[in-house]
Structure 1
Amino acid sequence: MINEHDSIDWSSMSHAYGPASDVPAWLREMAAADSNVRDKTLGHFYSAAHHQGDVYACTTASLPFLFALADDPAAPDRASIVELLLSIGRESVDRDDDGIRFAPDGTISTACADSAAVMRDHADAFVSYAADPDPGVRRAACGVRRSRAWVSSSTTPSARSDNRTPAGSRPSRACSVTLQPRAEP
């Protein structure tokens, strides 16, 4: 999947600092063996394609590739990818308030709504991450409890950390996930 990103016209999209033509290289480098390269690349992605929590069309276009990385047991540092996905999901839902959003170029943007829809389509992946053999991925998946709004199925994953931590920080122990009926609004 990661090699398919060349079929997307990234230069037609933008992020916080201009054309998103650099996003495919960042997606490739997120799978690099060198942890320094991965850390630098995640920093670039957060800084530009998810700048201050913003969600751009290039952020939405990145989601299938980010899910492919998070789903690949051979990919290094999957926990960081799961955390990035949770951040994108949380911000997409928080900002998808049916209000009009504008991209940096002044055009109307549907990136939040589009990203929220992708996250809803992949909600079950977070249940799998919470049961992953990698304890880092399991801890990262506990963030689901803060991002439940984008789960839209008949069941809702409920994650609870063994030791409660402030929002946005990593729990230091494993968490458990159970499926509970979704409360009706």
Structure 2
Amino acid sequence: MSWQGGAGVPKIYEEGGLEFHAGTPEDVRVVVAAMTAGARDGLYLDAAPWEKFHHAFGPGSDVPERLQRIRHGDAERADRELDILSDTLCHQGTPNAVGALALPFLVRIATSRPHPRLVGLVGALARRPHLGDGTRGGLLRTSPLADGLLFEPSGYVANWSVQAARQALTTDTDLLLPLLDHPDPAVRTGTAYAVSAAAAPARDRAAAALHARLDAEADPVTRASLVLGIGELAWEERDTATIARTLTWWRDPARPAEVRMSAALAWLCLVDDPLPAELDTLLDTEATDRLVAVLDPVPWLFDAARGDGLRTVLTQMRNPDDYAWITGTY
């Protein structure tokens, strides 16, 4: 038995399985890592083997043309192309191998032509598919489970695609950091989401930039995104300084409601402690209709539920036994 969806889709059960293909030209991690700095910086789109890898609708040969239209087209046309490209590269929320190839070019287009959905797409490609997971173990987790396999609609291994895109993002994080000061708060929010997926060695620089921006930020959606981003960058190492800082933030009644709430969510994801009574009360008090509406565009919460994201996340975090089908599956 095998699944061979086309060129670039490895046979999972034959020829030694995944290990047989790892490290070969069928491994998108190898292909993206081999892309030269000159190709990335010069936006030499022909340097990527688009047709070798497939997405939900077939080979990726149309992606370079769409990237060029986003880069050079008028605003209306660029928006239309970005709609199509987002669905092509991250179909139904699952990043794919073509998206990993595109990520270095998307970063450079975003720096020259910032757009909220463009930087948001970079962030979506560089982290595991969310698939409605707002649990304490899932909301801020960037990578798929090491012992779990997730497949793209084409049949390709999504784990490899996420790893390739995340490494590409890590290489280019410094290019995105200036967008944290962009005049459009939606661009700042999308940038916070993108750089929060960075791995070492860019992780510390990204965290420092998010902290610096938080001190100056006035937009509530961006403020909440900066706090969640700081938490995500600390998640893999369970950074003790960030745990202490988020605890201080949610306990501080002088801080804005969106900061206290996002800090509470980040803290709950970073620790294994039972939900304290003090925090339980805070969540009930602060999760007002107004705050739910304000925080709906925050990328982490938007991914958890298309609307009413905050309440969905709070329900999942407070009732983990009811969501065992989510936790630990991908």
Q: How would you bin the TM-score normalised by the shorter chain? A: 0.7 to 0.9
The aligned counterpart of 1:163 is 219
5 Å matches for 1:85-100? 85-91=122-128, 94-98=142-146, 99-100=148-149
Q: Report the equivalent of 1:150.
A: 198
Change (3 A) 1:100 1:90: closer
Structure (1 or 2) with the greater strand fraction: 1
List per-residue Cα deviations over 1:114-144 (Å, max 9, x = no partner). 111112222223321113xx412x6413345
Structure 1 residues 61 and 149: CA distance shift in structure 2, 3 A? closer
**What percentage of residue pairs aligned between the two structures are identical?**
22
Quote the residue 2:25 is aligned against.
none
Greater mean alpha carbon deviation, residues 17-26 or residues 106-115: 106-115
Number of equivalent positions: 167
- Pick aligned residue for 2:118 from 81, 85, 94: 81
- Alignment correspondent of 1:168: none
Q: SS at 2:44's partner residue? A: helix
Take 1:5 and 1:130, find their aligned partners in 2: how far apart are those partners? Answer: 27
Q: What residue in structure 2 maps to residue 40 of structure 1?
A: 80
The DSSP-based 3-state class of the residue aligned with 2:126 is: helix
> Is 1:141 matched with 2:191?
no
Deviations 1:78-117 (A, max 9, x none): 4442232223234466453222222434343410111111
CA 1:67 to 1:49, structure 2 compared with 1: closer, same or farther past 3 Å?
same
Cα distance, 1:26 vs structure 2: 0.8
1:117 counterpart = 2:157 = no
1:135-183: CA deviations, max 9, x gaps?
12x6413345545243433341324342323xxxxx59xx9xxx9xx75
1:121–1:33 distance in 2 versus 1, CA, 3 Å? same
Say what the alpha-carbon RMSD is for the aligned residues. 3.0
Q: Is the 8 A contact 1:17 1:48 kept in 2?
A: yes
Compared CA separation, residues 2 and 17, structure 1 to 2 (3 A): farther
Which of 78, 92, 97 is 1:57 aligned to? Answer: 97
Correspondence 1:14 to 2:54:
yes
Alpha carbons 2:107, 2:176 under 8 Å: kept: no
Question: Are the equivalent residues in 2 in contact too, given 1:130–1:139 (CA < 8 A)?
Answer: no
In structure 1, distance between residues paired with 2:63 and 2:198: 25
The whole-number CA distance in structure 1 between the counterparts of 2:143 and 2:89 is 15
What are structure 1's unaligned runs of at least 5 residues?
166-170
Distance (whole Å) between structure 1 residues aligned to residue 121 and residue 52 of structure 2: 23
Is 2:129 the partner of 1:129?
A: no
Check conservation: 2:51, 2:60, Cα contact below 8 A. yes
- Residue by residue over 1:45-78, the C-alpha shift from the partner in whole angstroms, topping out at 9 and shown as x without a partner, is 1111111221111100001111111222xx3x54
Distance in 1 of aligned mates of 2:91 and 2:115:
21
Q: Structure 2, unaligned stretches of length 5 or more?
A: 1-40, 130-140, 239-330
The CA distance in 2 between the partners of 1:141 and 1:22, in whole Å, is 29
Higher helix share: 2
